[in-house]
């Protein structure tokens, strides 16, 4: 009997803003690849394993590479998105160093013919462009005989050949795929959520979007397959069925489809989420959405400006959107309306007009404003220089300047949107001071700067990691602290790093001189020497404390009234203030919105001060 070649499929998560369990990183793409390979009989030759979400989401950069290498894989496949591509490539390099014979294949929306910095990565052997299942199966089949596929495979980029492949025609029938949940590859109970793709392909061709590039038309899942998935969702007691379809109401049989979703959810055991266009939603369809138990939907508006609409090739009928959104809101459905800031053709005035229109029409209770990302593979990327778009060279590829909008304008418009709707798009989460034990990783380095101890080994650190420093007096330890931060980030450059500074038995008389804003700014500067995805993501957003690295100053609440308010305000410019213990109701009420109260021993956040 021959030994099966081990294939591992991994999907790294969206970087979290802080420690705490990462949810939602369901490796659906990898699961589909495994399922399709199984149907092609390839499991007779390959042992294909999808790396469980909790492992892929918990392990730090180096821990993940070591974990993958320890399993001695013959091939590793990574699903690549905007938010994980740089980290994935780093892990791939590290994996190649540890296991040079392992072949590496990447796929996902970040893998496009014009994304040279990814395709040129030496650690990559193969890259799948477009829909993945057939290409991946064809690759595995070809590798049974040769080191590299002897003949070109549509959709497959082979690094040694450096030629862009022919277009991969999508699967002729989405029903050929089956469900990775029903096949037992994914467990919906794990996240109490089932991802369901009932359509592939989009009738629209928005120029900022890559999705339609992979599909020549729309492909639909048959009603019986949808029924089977919904029945499975009920059996697994999920709380949510998350529909991945690009535009739910692009289908001609939308009303029947909603009837099917309602029928599959008797007693409204779970709720649905999906994206749709506001146009075309009538009172009747809104009622059907409610009956099925849609509690939340996302509606793309992007811009109300005719010139911007023309440039992005997306025409919005504002009156119809208004009717549709109102109808859904009247049914009690939460409608998240998306706006893009930085579209070609838009100006400060037109974006402002769009925001005010949403507010005045009462449609923006759940506004989501995004900066334009000039994504690889999109028409906007292709036309970027003709359109005069300057953008970040690495994800999230945010536009930094257009002929009408300067960087300051983009920033100011995001601030304006938050102020207009009195919301914070990404509010600060409470600091995490409690760490559940995990046999594979350590979440925290407790560093007593007066009696330093080494950090946990790099290959045992978690993705979201905490350096918890204590000292009688921080002042003499600034460089030690900065070196500690640098060393952690050199080992695991993509960490979400929380740095807690906890003065031991602080004296309110001397503390302000020992730990001031300049001190913290110096530590923060060490944190930010190599920005990663989240740092760039928040670079154009107000709320300067957001990013992959965060400072937290932890102090006893009883001291707060003895500390100078100006000093606290200055600290809050660069760090989150966390208070341990309890105080009088007056003190608790006097806390600012960005301060948090934490219990001292259980390290549980009792309440964010609001």
Going residue by residue from 219 to 248, which x/- string records binding to ligand SF4, judged by CB under 6 A?
Answer: ---------------------------xx-
Dist CA 520 CA 500 (whole Å): 11
> Using CB under 6 A, which of 22, 76, 156, 206 touches ligand SF4?
206
> Using CB under 6 A, which of 209, 248, 527, 598 touches ligand SF4?
209
- Of 203-211, 363-371, 396-404, 591-599, the segment contacting ligand SF4 by CB under 6 A is 203-211
Q: Is 122 exposed, middle or buried (0-12, 13-18, 19+ CB in 10 A)?
A: exposed
Q: What's the closest the beta carbon of residue 79 comes to ligand SF4, in angstroms?
A: 18
Is the CB of residue 280 less than 8 Å from the CB of residue 250?
no
- Of 59-67, 89-97, 207-215, 555-563, the segment contacting ligand SF4 by CB under 6 A is 207-215
**Is residue 405 close enough to count as binding ligand SF4 by CB under 6 A?**
no
Dist CA 89 CA 93 (whole Å): 6
What values do phi and psi take at 168, rounded to 5?
A: -90, 110
Q: Is 603 exposed, middle or buried (0-12, 13-18, 19+ CB in 10 A)?
A: middle
> Using CB under 6 A, which of 5, 98, 141, 204 touches ligand SF4?
204
- Of 107-115, 205-213, 263-271, 450-458, the segment contacting ligand SF4 by CB under 6 A is 205-213
Q: What's the closest the beta carbon of residue 207 comes to ligand SF4, in angstroms?
A: 9
**Is residue 376 close enough to count as binding ligand SF4 by CB under 6 A?**
no
Indicate the residue among 193 and 209 with the shorter CB distance to ligand SF4. Answer: 209
Indicate the residue among 212 and 364 with the shorter CB distance to ligand SF4. Answer: 212
**Is residue 380 close enough to count as binding ligand SF4 by CB under 6 A?**
no
Q: What's the closest the beta carbon of residue 212 comes to ligand SF4, in angstroms?
A: 5
Give the DSSP letter of residue 258: H
Indicate the residue among 7 and 221 with the shorter CB distance to ligand SF4. Answer: 221
Indicate the residue among 11 and 218 with the shorter CB distance to ligand SF4. Answer: 218
The order of strands in the sheet holding 294-302 is: 193-196, 240-243, 271-276, 294-302, 334-341, 366-371
Pick from 93, 94, 124: which is nearest to 106 by CA? 124
**Is residue 212 close enough to count as binding ligand SF4 by CB under 6 A?**
yes
**Is residue 496 close enough to count as binding ligand SF4 by CB under 6 A?**
no
Strand, coil or helix: 181: coil
Q: Is 514 exposed, middle or buried (0-12, 13-18, 19+ CB in 10 A)?
A: middle
Indicate the residue among 99 and 198 with the shorter CB distance to ligand SF4. Answer: 198
| 543 Ramachandran zone, left/alpha/beta (phi>0; psi -120 to 50) | left
The residue written with tokens 């009688």 in the block is 472
Number of residues that bind ligand SF4 (CB under 6 A): 10
- Of 37-45, 55-63, 198-206, 521-529, the segment contacting ligand SF4 by CB under 6 A is 198-206
Of 286-315, binders to ligand SF4 (CB under 6 A) are 300
Dist CA 302 CA 206 (whole Å): 10
Q: How far is CA 178 from CA 22, 173, 202, 572, in A?
A: 27, 10, 21, 52
The order of strands in the sheet holding 75-79 is: 46-50, 5-10, 75-79, 103-107, 126-128, 156-158
- Of 1-9, 30-38, 204-212, 291-299, the segment contacting ligand SF4 by CB under 6 A is 204-212
Indicate the residue among 204 and 254 with the shorter CB distance to ligand SF4. Answer: 204
- Of 78-86, 139-147, 199-207, 326-334, the segment contacting ligand SF4 by CB under 6 A is 199-207
Classify the C-alpha dihedral 590-592-593-595 as positive or negative: negative
- Of 181-189, 208-216, 284-292, 332-340, the segment contacting ligand SF4 by CB under 6 A is 208-216
Indicate the residue among 211 and 494 with the shorter CB distance to ligand SF4. Answer: 211
What values do phi and psi take at 505, rounded to 5?
A: 40, 60
Dist CA 225 CA 262 (whole Å): 15
Burial 376-396 (b: 16+ CB within 10 A, else e): bbbbbbeebeebebebbeebb
Dist CA 100 CA 201 (whole Å): 38
Q: What's the closest the beta carbon of residue 208 comes to ligand SF4, in angstroms?
A: 7
Q: What's the closest the beta carbon of residue 347 comes to ligand SF4, in angstroms?
A: 22
Q: What's the closest the beta carbon of residue 205 comes to ligand SF4, in angstroms?
A: 6
Going residue by residue from 157 to 196, which x/- string records binding to ligand SF4, judged by CB under 6 A?
Answer: ----------------------------------------
> Using CB under 6 A, which of 36, 45, 90, 211 touches ligand SF4?
211
Indicate the residue among 202 and 441 with the shorter CB distance to ligand SF4. Answer: 202
CA atoms within 13 A on the CB side of 293: 17
Binding-site ranges for ligand SF4 (CB under 6 A): 202, 204-206, 209, 211-212, 246-247, 300
């Amino acid at each position: 009997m021959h030994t099966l070649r081990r294939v591992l499929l991994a999907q790294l998560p969206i970087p979290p803003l802080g420690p705490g369990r990462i949810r939602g990183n369901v490796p659906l793409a990898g699961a589909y690849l495994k399922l399709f390979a199984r149907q092609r009989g390839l499991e007779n030759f390959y042992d294909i394993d999808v790396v469980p979400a909790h492992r892929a989401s918990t392990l730090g950069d180096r821990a993940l590479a070591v974990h993958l290498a320890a399993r001695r894989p013959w091939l590793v496949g990574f699903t690549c998105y905007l938010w994980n591509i740089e980290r994935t490539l780093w892990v791939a390099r590290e994996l190649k160093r540890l296991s040079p014979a392992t072949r590496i294949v990447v796929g996902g929306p970040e893998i496009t013919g014009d994304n040279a910095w990814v395709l040129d990565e030496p650690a990559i052997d193969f890259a799948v462009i477009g829909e993945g299942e057939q290409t991946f199966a064809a690759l595995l089949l070809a590798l049974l005989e040769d080191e590299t596929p002897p003949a070109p495979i549509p959709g497959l980029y082979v690094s040694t050949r450096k030629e862009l492949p022919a277009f991969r025609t999508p699967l002729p029938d989405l029903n050929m795929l089956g469900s990775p949940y029903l096949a037992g590859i994914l467990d919906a109970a794990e996240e109490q959520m089932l991802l369901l793709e009932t359509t592939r392909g989009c009738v629209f061709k928005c120029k900022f979007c890559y999705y339609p590039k992979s599909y020549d038309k729309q492909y639909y899942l048959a009603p019986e397959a949808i029924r089977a998935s919904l029945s499975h969702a009920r059996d697994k007691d999920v709380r949510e069925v998350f529909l991945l379809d690009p535009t739910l109401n692009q289908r001609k049989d939308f009303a029947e489809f909603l009837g099917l979703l309602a029928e599959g959810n008797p007693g409204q055991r779970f709720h649905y989420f999906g994206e749709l266009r506001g146009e075309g939603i009538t009172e009747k369809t809104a009622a059907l959405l409610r009956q099925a138990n849609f509690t939340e939907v996302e509606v793309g508006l992007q811009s109300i400006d005719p010139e911007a609409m023309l440039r992005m090739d997306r025409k919005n009928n504002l009156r119809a959107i208004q009717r549709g959104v109102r109808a859904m809101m009247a049914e009690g459905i939460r409608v998240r309306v998306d706006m893009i800031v930085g579209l070609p053709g838009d100006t400060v005035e037109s974006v402002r007009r769009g925001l005010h229109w949403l507010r005045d029409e009462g449609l923006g209770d759940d506004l989501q404003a995004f900066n334009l990302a000039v994504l690889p593979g999109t028409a906007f990327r292709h036309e970027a220089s003709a359109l005069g778009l300057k953008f970040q060279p690495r994800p999230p590829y945010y536009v930094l300047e257009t002929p009408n909008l300067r960087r300051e304008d983009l920033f100011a418009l995001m601030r304006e949107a938050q102020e207009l709707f009195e919301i914070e798009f990404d509010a600060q989460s409470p600091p995490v001071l409690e760490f559940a034990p995990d046999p594979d990783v350590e979440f925290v380095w407790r560093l007593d700067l007066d009696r330093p101890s080494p950090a946990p080994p790099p290959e045992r650190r978690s993705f979201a990691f905490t350096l918890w420093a204590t000292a009688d007096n921080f002042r003499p330890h600034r460089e030690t602290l900065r070196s500690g931060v640098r060393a952690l980030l050199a080992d695991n450059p993509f960490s979400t790093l929380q740095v807690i500074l906890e003065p031991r038995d602080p004296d309110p008389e001397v503390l302000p001189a020992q730990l001031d804003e300049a001190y913290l700014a110096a530590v923060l500067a060490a944190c930010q020497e190599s920005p990663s995805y989240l740092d760039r993501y928040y670079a154009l957003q107000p709320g300067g404390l957001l990013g992959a690295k965060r400072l937290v100053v932890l102090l006893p609440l009883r001291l707060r009234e003895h500390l100078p308010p100006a000093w606290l305000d200055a600290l809050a410019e660069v760090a989150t203030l966390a208070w341990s213990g309890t105080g009088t109701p007056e003190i608790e009420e006097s806390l600012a919105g960005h301060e948090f109260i934490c219990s001292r021993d259980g390290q549980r956040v009792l309440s964010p001060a609001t």
